[in-house]
Structure 1
Amino acid sequence: MTSRVTFVSPAMNPSLRRPRFDDGATSLDDIGMTHARAAAGVLPPTALVVRSPSVRCRETAEALELGAGEPSVELAGLDVGRWRGLSLDEVGGAEPAAVGQWLADPASAPHGGESVRDLCLRVGRWLDGAARREGRTVAVVEPDVVRAVVVHVLDAPAAAFWRVDVPPLTATAISGRSGRWNLGLGRPLHARAAGDDG
């Protein structure tokens, strides 16, 4: 039995355009919506569509003509606690030591939310379940979920999380059986995205 999961990062929104901790309620901007609609129909037919619970992931799934998708708390973005909705500059100015600790230690959660390590473990549990599901799944998920997928599939240390860049509206595919995954990284969903800086 071979399982295939394609993880699609959301199209551009103001939180992605500027370094800001998304609050989960921010919509796609006009450019992001245009790019997502242009990519509709690019993904192969799928048996299951799931997504992070955020507005931008739901809107991306709908613009790609995948429907609203099934929201999954297991695939939610990293919970950044009290930093939610703030820019990285705001947090760095107010709590520079906490930001430094958070970026250096994947087990830390100075914001009162979830650590990077815990996110990687949560996403890994979801992947373990996906390995038992035959067929194709599309998951429209936050960029940090894609990073956690890469860390899990490569059996990399959680510290590698920050070394993975996930551009908007790209597909990262995994396929495998018995929990052993092969990885295909960051394919743009349409030709325009390949040369576009957002």
Structure 2
Amino acid sequence: MHTRLTWICHGPTSANREGRFPLNEPLEQSAATDTAALAERLQRADHVKSSPALAALQTAEILNLTAAADPKLADMDYGRWKGRPLADLQAKEPDALIQWMTDPDAAPHGGESLSKLQARIAGWMEEQQAFDGHIVAIANATVIRAAILHVMKAPPSSFWLADIEPLALLRMSFDGRRWALRFSR
């Protein structure tokens, strides 16, 4: 059994550029060119799965990939913080923002905590272990960070240490015993 998993962070959106928690925005106009260039680096996939987010589905379309939307790959539920700029939260709710960033079980926004997101993504990855082949998963940076922590068995405090840019590509593999990060050209 050998599962290969290629994560692709969806293309840039206005939320990325504006430093705010995402809504369900489309890709920015400039995303098409950069996304198409990424297609040349992809290997053939047996399955393509995507977050149900519009930007992820549009990224798959530009890459000429037929993706099945999987709700388990959805971004974190940011509750009442959806659409709000990080700078606004730093000014108006600094204690809640610090609590959310330092306590993985906290959800002061009324949505999903980091620990619940990590458990959801770890569960999704465990489901993929049974598949012998190559899976491409298109999601947002938060989901990919959770996957990295799962593979590395890193503490929740490590969540904020991985910067995932739009259209970043990350490979992982499962050899029947463990997940590993794969670095290649």
Which TM class, normalised by the smaller chain length?
A: over 0.9
1:41 to partner: Cα distance: 3.9
Distance in 1, Cα, partners of 2:33 & 2:86: 27
Cα RMSD (Å)? 1.4
Which residue of structure 1 aligns with residue 182 of structure 2?
A: 184
SS of the aligned residue for 1:108 comes to coil
CA contact (8 A) 1:28 1:56 kept: yes
Alignment of 1:20-39 (within 5 A): 20-23=20-23, 25-39=24-38
Residue in structure 2 matched with residue 80 of structure 1 by the alignment = 78
Q: What is the rounded CA distance, in whole Å, between the counterparts of 2:76 and 2:90 in structure 1?
A: 18
For residue 139 of structure 2, what is the aligned residue in structure 1?
141
- The residue aligned with 1:106 is 104
Scaled by the length of structure 1, what TM-score is found? 0.89
Q: 1:19-43: CA deviations, max 9, x gaps?
A: 11001x2111122222112323431
Question: In structure 2, do the counterparts of structure 1 residues 129 and 94 end up closer, same or farther at CA, with 3 Å as the change threshold?
Answer: same
Deviation at 1:113, TM superposition (A): 0.3
What SS does the aligned partner of 2:41 have? coil
Q: Separation in 2 of the partners of 1:158 and 1:175?
A: 22
Shift of 1:83: 0.3
Secondary structure, counterpart of 2:39 in structure 1: coil
Shift >3 Å, 4+ stretches: none
Matched residues in 1 for 2:138 and 2:40: separation?
A: 14
Higher relative contact order (CA 8 A, sep 6+): 2
Counterpart in 2 of 1:172?
170
Shift of 1:179: 4.7
- Please name the residue that 2:160 is paired with: 162
Change (3 A) 1:44 1:162: same
Distance, in Å, in 1 between the alignment partners of 2:139 and 2:133 is 19
User: Any idea what SS the aligned residue of 2:11 has?
Assistant: coil
> Using the alignment, how far apart are the partners of 2:148 and 2:117 within structure 1?
12
- TM-score, structure 2 as length reference: 0.95
Partner amino acid for 1:58? L
- Residue 57 of structure 1 corresponds to 56
Q: How many residues align?
A: 185
Structure 1 residue identity aligned to 2:26: S
Corresponding residue of 1:11 = 11
User: 1:120 touches 1:149 (CA, 8 Å); kept in 2?
Assistant: yes
Distance 2:70 2:177 in 1: 20
Secondary structure at the counterpart of residue 79 of structure 1: coil
Q: Which residue of 2 aligns with 1:194?
A: none
